[in-house]
Every structure is written in structure tokens, then in C-alpha cells.
Chain A
Amino acid sequence: MLSKIHHVGVVVRDLEQAYGFWRDVLGLPVMVVKTVQDQDVTAALLKVGESEIELLQPLSDKSGIGKFLAKRGEGLHHLCFETDDVDAELEAAKAKGIRVIDEKPRLGLAGMICFLHPTATRSVLVEYAQPLADEGHH
């Protein structure tokens, strides 16, 4: 069952510069910052109510996020729903015939995650995330 918006992903050119707006002007606290090496991205999660804004800074122009930035510039990237069972949610999506990007959940910044294909969801890139048990801020 999907319980809430876990986060909205935003691609930015520079995290430190982005904090100047999202953290300092909007007042959203930075909860976690991590570099995901295999995706060439550094990401920060900023809390807003029961959800978060995920700022994504590519570390190379060859990564998926880097290509997005080069092609479309900074902006909205994806919408992530939280679930308490990402395996079941992904299997349910596949059973409905929903095209997926990840055949199996994998470890991401928000916990165990997977992406659906945007052609199945009105061009919205949708992620499912099951936070890890020790991530109390989720």
C-alpha cells in the first residue's frame, strides 16, 4: 500500500547553491546527504511535513541525472511514493501490466527503491521507496 509522497525529486546543478533557496529561504531542514557512486549523483533530502524534497546533483554528464540536466536543465525529475513493501508493490505493478524500469528493487538514497517507466504514468517518472528500518526521519 502506498502511504504518502516520500519525496519529489529535483535536479539541480549545484547542491550548495540550491540550499540557498530550499533550505535557507523555504526553511526546509536537510535530513541526509549521500553520494550514490554507481549513479554518479549526490543527493540531499530536505524535510517538508511528512514528505521530502530530494535535490539531485549529477557528478558527471554521463549519468542519467547528468544527461537530464544537459538536455532539460534544472527542474522537476520524479515523484516518489512510500510503501512498506516495495517488493509486493513492484510485483503488483508488473501484474497490472505497468511497464517498469527496475525489475527488482535496489538500494537507493530513500531505502529500497524501484522506478516505473514514465510511458506508463503520463510521462511522470514514478519511484517506489521502502525506507530502511534505521532511517527514523522517514
Chain B
Amino acid sequence: MRTNRIDHVVVATPDPAGAQATFRGHFELPPSAPVAGSPALTIGDARIAFITPAAGSPLAAALAGSSEGMAEVCLEVASLDDAEAALRKAGIGFTSEPKGGGRAIAVDPSAAHGVRLTLVEPGTI
């Protein structure tokens, strides 16, 4: 699998606009285009997205009972087909889910050491 970069990190929060304002004020980061419809900031070649998890969603589960916090890392890979093949070969579970008009692979968190890890192709989100 060829992994290019961190596409974005998700801060799960019930108040995306407020959290974006907090991070913008503290760290003086410029806004980016929304990530999957949620507010985001730019840092280098990556983004920080502020997303309200739906009840019962994997993102909510990743918060482990907290109301806010860093809950997901999304990596850009060269090819989702290659990523799927590599995960299958390693016996690692994953789901394919829609994201930002394209699709993403969500890796089984138990294989990713408790991390909710998603993989996208360039330009997906």
C-alpha cells in the first residue's frame, strides 16, 4: 500500500463551529473548504475537521464516552483498490463507506490499535 500523507484529523464535537473558532483563535490556522460538509482548518498539507458524530456511529464510538476529542485520522492513499488488497492480504477487516462524494475505507479499529482510521484517494474530500 502506498500511503501519501495525513489528509485530515477529526475533532469530534457537539459544537463544530465553536470548536473551529477555538482552534482558529488559538493556533491562527486558516479555514479550509469543509470536510464532508463540516468546518475545517488548514495546517500544512493537512486539515483539521470538526464533526458532530451521529449517535451510534463509529465516530461516536471512537470518543469512548467523551463528548469531545480527537477521534479519527484520515490518510490519503494512492489507490483504494491497492489498499483493500493489502488489508485483505493481511487479514484486516474494513468497511467501505461514502465520504465527501467519493468513498473511504474505514479500517477495523482493533487492527489499527484503537484508532479510527480512514483511507481516501487524492481529491476525494
Q: Chain A residues in contact with chain B, CB under 8 A?
A: 1-5, 8, 10-13, 18, 21-22, 24-28, 48-51, 53, 55, 72-76, 78-79, 81-82, 93, 96, 98, 116, 118, 120-125
Q: A5-B46, A22-B113 known; 13 other A-B pairs, CB under 8 Å? A: A2-B29, A13-B113, A25-B86, A26-B3, A49-B46, A76-B62, A76-B71, A76-B73, A76-B114, A76-B116, A118-B69, A120-B26, A122-B69
Q: Is the interface of A mostly helix, strand, loop or mixed?
A: mixed
In contact, B1 and A122 (Cβ under 8 angstroms) = no
Within the assembled complex, what's the spacing in Å between the Cα atoms of A98 and B62?
A: 26
In contact, A121 and B26 (Cβ under 8 angstroms) = yes
Chain B residues contacting A121 (CB-CB under 8 Å) are 22-23, 26
**Given known contacts A4-B43, A121-B23, is B3 in contact with A28 (CB within 8 Å)?**
yes
Contact with A along B66-84 (1 / 0, CB 8 A): 1111110101100000000
In contact, A5 and B114 (Cβ under 8 angstroms) = no
Q: Which of B45, B70, B113 sits near A124, CB closer than 8 Å?
A: B70
Q: Chain B residues in contact with chain A, CB under 8 A?
A: 1-6, 9, 11, 13, 19, 22-23, 25-29, 43-46, 48, 62, 64, 66-71, 73, 75-76, 86-87, 90, 92, 109, 111-116
In contact, B44 and A10 (Cβ under 8 angstroms) = no
In contact, B6 and A26 (Cβ under 8 angstroms) = no
Within the assembled complex, what's the spacing in Å between the Cα atoms of A55 and B4?
A: 18
